[in-house]
Structure 1
């Protein structure tokens, strides 16, 4: 994927998320997402905040207050933005959908898989099946496989061969785990409980036993 294709995918996924949440009740917005300690509204607000993220100095100041815990920095910013937006999170997502600004501490490749996964973080608890763009998910899976922190996918999934059933992507060596590239991306990013029922192969039993 080139730069324009990646930004186009991100923009389209923001609109998909807005469509998911249009008319959502407060109870739906407040239910847990697939991210531990994040409500559905917090995940959506995080995606909406990305093009308006504070600059590097602002993020570093928040990190100091959070004692270097960048996960907590992300969560606290998302929660605060969710409270500001209230019931208007879908409107905000539409307003920023086409913006090509990203936080100072991330990359376009990271933003791509982050957006794709967060749509699923909301769709799954809402009980809505949402397709993930295949090429975007493939790019995302490759990026997560190559990176270390925060997922440590190669180390965590050592001894397994991951193979996509809907695109050309195979990584790792060992006991097979097969599934759609979307579900492999969820596995790679730690959404194991959600991914496992959708995967097949002898390695699934090992993953289940390790939970």
Structure 2
């Protein structure tokens, strides 16, 4: 699929989601350990970094790309008002820019997953387009660079099967569930384990337990 039309739609959707939050909801812990909803919003403003932005990140280098991005997201979230975070995501929605070193699919994956990091702990229903989720799940499972999240290794030996569209990946005991839940499991969000069934789901529950 060409991810750009869906990227544009998802940026508008997450901007609308954030615009509807109460003040207290911005401080709620997200599905990302150690990240608040506001931190995740800050992360979603970092999808179109240029060379100047990367220079600033290097000055705040934390020993690796992931902790450096987390630091940048938190600094931006602290410095910007919620209104500015929302406006930035909305204003950049139609642009076809992405961070250096990633493909548009990683940009889409970030939007699909991080929007759920915000919505799920707040008890907000934020539908994920199944076809986009299927493309994102396959990309996450097969990517080599940038490196996939560590949780992808836990999918080895499990057959993942979507129940809401024709999609399957892998071999072994089967874990069945909605494609949105499968994408979140692939990216390490164990909160959706109750949505999965089958012997593969039991295996994943063991692997993903603290």
TM-score (norm 2): 0.89
Pairwise CA RMSD: 1.9
In structure 2, relative to structure 1, the CA distance for the partners of 1:108 and 1:32 (3 Å cut) is same
Between 160-169 and 18-27, the greater mean CA deviation after superposition:
18-27
In structure 2, relative to structure 1, the CA distance for the partners of 1:134 and 1:106 (3 Å cut) is same
Q: Deviations over 1:63-104 (max 9, x none)?
A: 474353111111111112212321212222211111111111
Structure 1 contact 30–41 (Cα < 8 Å) conserved: yes
In structure 2, relative to structure 1, the CA distance for the partners of 1:60 and 1:69 (3 Å cut) is farther
**Post-superposition shift, 1:175?**
0.8
Q: Tell me the residue number matched to 1:175.
A: 173
Are 1:92 and 2:98 matched, yes or no? no
Unaligned runs of 5+ in 1: none
Are 1:19 and 2:16 matched, yes or no? yes
Q: Tell me the residue number matched to 2:43.
A: 46
- Could you tell me which of 109, 116, 130 is aligned with 1:120? 116
Structure 2 contact 134–167 (Cα < 8 Å) conserved: yes
Secondary structure of the residue that 2:30 maps to in structure 1?
A: coil
**Post-superposition shift, 1:126?**
1.3
Q: Tell me the residue number matched to 1:68.
A: 63
Q: Tell me the residue number matched to 1:59.
A: 54
Structure 1 contact 45–79 (Cα < 8 Å) conserved: yes
Q: 1 CA distance for matches of 2:152 and 2:38?
A: 31
Q: Tell me the residue number matched to 1:139.
A: 135
TM-score (norm 1): 0.89
In structure 2, relative to structure 1, the CA distance for the partners of 1:203 and 1:61 (3 Å cut) is same
Are 1:33 and 2:35 matched, yes or no? no
Secondary structure of the residue that 2:45 maps to in structure 1?
A: helix
Unaligned runs of 5+ in 2: none
